[in-house]
Homo-oligomer: A and B are copies of this chain.
Amino acid sequence: MVNNSYYSQELHGPYELHDIGNLELEEGGTIRNCNLAYATFGTLNAAKDNAILVPTWYSGTNKIIEQVLIGKGRGLDPDKYFIIVVNQIGNGLSSSPHNTPAPGGMANFPRVRIGDDVRAQHKLLTEKFGLTSLALVVGGSMGAQQTYEWAVRYPDMVKRAAPIAGTARNTVHDFLFTETLVDAITSDPGFNNGFYQSPSDVREGLLRHAKMWAVMGWSTQFFQSGKYKALGFSSLDDFIVNFMYAYFSVMDPNDLLCMAWKWQRGDVSRHTGGDLREALGRIKARTVVMPMSSDMFFPPADCQAEWRLIRDAEFRPIETIDGHLALFGADPNALVQIDKHLTELLATKV
């Protein structure tokens, strides 16, 4: 374990922890007493048919989901729905390399797959809340990977699905990009094969990782139009240091690597021997696919290719110059579009 005050109730709460017991993983390891951190908004109705699940993206926690997507009058309205945001394994709040006691923590933390997260979440939702139906599963990026996995794995339980800025099967290009992020961290001599004394030993690796996120995460237009200045940063350097570095440098390197490994290998076609068409054909949820128009990770064309394989699905690109990181919510107009699509989806009878 490594002390890290970033992963705290003060910064990310309030959230609850639920111990789902030992989680046996697809890759063969086991997380003992796997804890899922989650936050809920709104009230579950008597029919238990107003529950919405929101899994988290890479580096994200329940807090940013709350800030960006949830609110009165929004698509995810706690006055109408019971919204459960579940932190993915490895994100620092749920069971993660940094908060797991030796010998199972740090670099010994086992390999986790998207499917493991979804099985763990299923256990939480059924055991803790007695849910048998989800009005909607919605998530961005790795949250989209989990959304697709939910819709394919539990087709009768998921009534609606909204994968935003993500794919059901990761692309070769995105796998490669993520590998460069991994390399940025692991190449830091202070990383010490994952057994650093403190995250600050890996500072330079974390900063390189953050800068590479800046390159692929936004878009050329975002920078060319000076959007980073409009967000209150005086220069490119100021933006890199006081936004990108500030955001990532406080995180735990092994936690990020746990998520990165999982992200690289997200693939619903593992259920069907590699047949993506067959896997997506299992989806019964009413689905709206929402890529970000300027996303360099998951360009609309890549999302569109999957959308074509989903029955009765809608393809609704979100127009924005914020690229993949429109997920951060800095483009209010992108949020308006997402809210509109979610509201319409939730109004659809299924």
Q: Give A residues with C-beta under 8 Å from B.
A: 171-177, 179-180, 183-184, 187-189, 204, 208, 211-212, 214-216, 218-224, 236, 240, 296, 299, 301-302, 305
Contacts and interface: CB of A to CB of B under 8 A. Distances in A.
Main secondary structure of the interface of A (DSSP, over half): helix
A224 B173 contact: yes
A171 B220 contact: yes
Interface centre among A172, A175, A215, A224 (most CB of B within 10 A): A215
B208 A176 contact: no
Given A172-B223, A236-B172, A215 B216 contact: yes
A305 B221 CA distance: 11
B299 A175 contact: no
B183 A220 contact: no
A175 B214 CA distance: 12
A185 B220 CA distance: 24
A212 B171 contact: no
Given A187-B187, A215-B216, 12 more contacts: A171-B220, A173-B224, A176-B211, A176-B215, A177-B215, A179-B211, A183-B208, A187-B188, A187-B208, A220-B302, A224-B302, A296-B296
Contacts of A220: 171, 173-174, 299, 301-302
A184 B181 CA distance: 11
A224 B175 CA distance: 11
